[in-house]
Structure 1
């Protein structure tokens, strides 16, 4: 799905065969993602968001964060097919880098990445507060909804500020303001620091605090208002998945920022770097279906919420037995 036309003059060279092998691997993995992972991501993210929003009364603090992660995952799902059919992955792309689609995809991708990472970070910190300081309601659902609003607002502002460098990198150099900002490495550095280094440090700090809490049960654990202990396993699994799937993307971003602009590199190293970049993007997109899948499997209350939602949908079409009995009692 990608082009090795640059090696046509040396069809028997090692670089050409390396490019062909890398291209075949990327093609297979891209097709697997579009056929399997893409529909699964749409299904599980939509299920996560719809089920929780239809049962707002029973939502807990972690549910609010996972709903925001699900919405960001849906954005990644919508971006993935367009990205995989673009110039990075296909020999005959549907759009080019100078197209407005490229800038739009960067905006949406960066917003989704920031929302996912910071929702995971604040979920870790709020979970520690809930475990260490019960009955304080500092990590209540009401407060969490407002925090998530700030997450989306901050993600939008940060993405647009960093993407000024991308925009100026693709328009005419005659504009004085943009002629001083044509540095893509600066935009990558902003995303690397704000989108990965800061949240990862905060996540590790929160996990250290959580692990220091005693595991012995206390009378407070019997309080029905407290979080389900299974959330601890769900939190650890979600954090590990997010970090594992997003770290390769930010490592490639870091390598790109460290490269000296204008320095010539061998074809083999450039091909390898290009291949690793495509693989890291695929792994980042994979987080959009991995986390909601884990949430569905590990959250004990989710299945019950799903059953209640299905009952409500069925009851809209036909009267439920409970409603019929209540109507008969009212008549008698």
Structure 2
């Protein structure tokens, strides 16, 4: 019962591979190791968290390469975490999002359909809620007013997966992640950006003049949700469901920075700026549906989770972070 994990060298992917291995699942990964951020961090992350996983270097747009991998591995389940991430980068390089998040997604759907994959679990995003969002965000709210191309591609993924479930009976589950953080996290996101800057005494940019709230969710809680969803394919017709995976506890940006300051042992130099194009002012997950379906109960507060991120940044990046 091999499980294929795409984006296996990514932040959530490595933790997911480690958790699957810990419960005895045979795992094969793929990752393109692209240069959106330093590929060395990805290699180090794999070496630290899941060094024994067979991870193939492969791009989602390589249709022939993906087909050959499916023929060789014959996965029964797929956890699709690979994507071009980042709201702000989608303003600079839209084609990367079309290639990875749209073309690559269809390539995987087609292979899952034709190769008889029993369950396709894929990463969506809290960004899909866009301008229609009313906290707490529930899965029944509209997602047709995205604030970025990244969000639009994730909303499109949900529509594509629903279509394949409807037409071909493909069991598919979408997971809307809410601001995932933890050691070995993405260096383009606030938890690492702020932690590294405060440790090094560099200023941090605080957007919307600090008037923002985020539903920060620890990676361990997210991975518990991924595995819970994997084990519970939809009984519905069509067999497609979408779940929020968040902490259901939005945190004010100033409080988040204060937790980092305390862990780092120094004050942050804050540079207040207007809201960035594409950003959302507040995110907050309604997690009742995931709790009812597979017992999702996130337990990690930022007071418990962020100090370990700061400690990891100090250890990995050195004194100057």
Taking structure 2 as the reference length, the TM-score comes to 0.26
Which has a greater percent of strand? 2
> With CA pairs under 8 Å and 6+ residues apart, which has the higher RCO, 1 or 2?
1
Which has a greater percent of helix? 1
Taking structure 1 as the reference length, the TM-score comes to 0.25
Q: Which structure: larger Rg?
A: 1
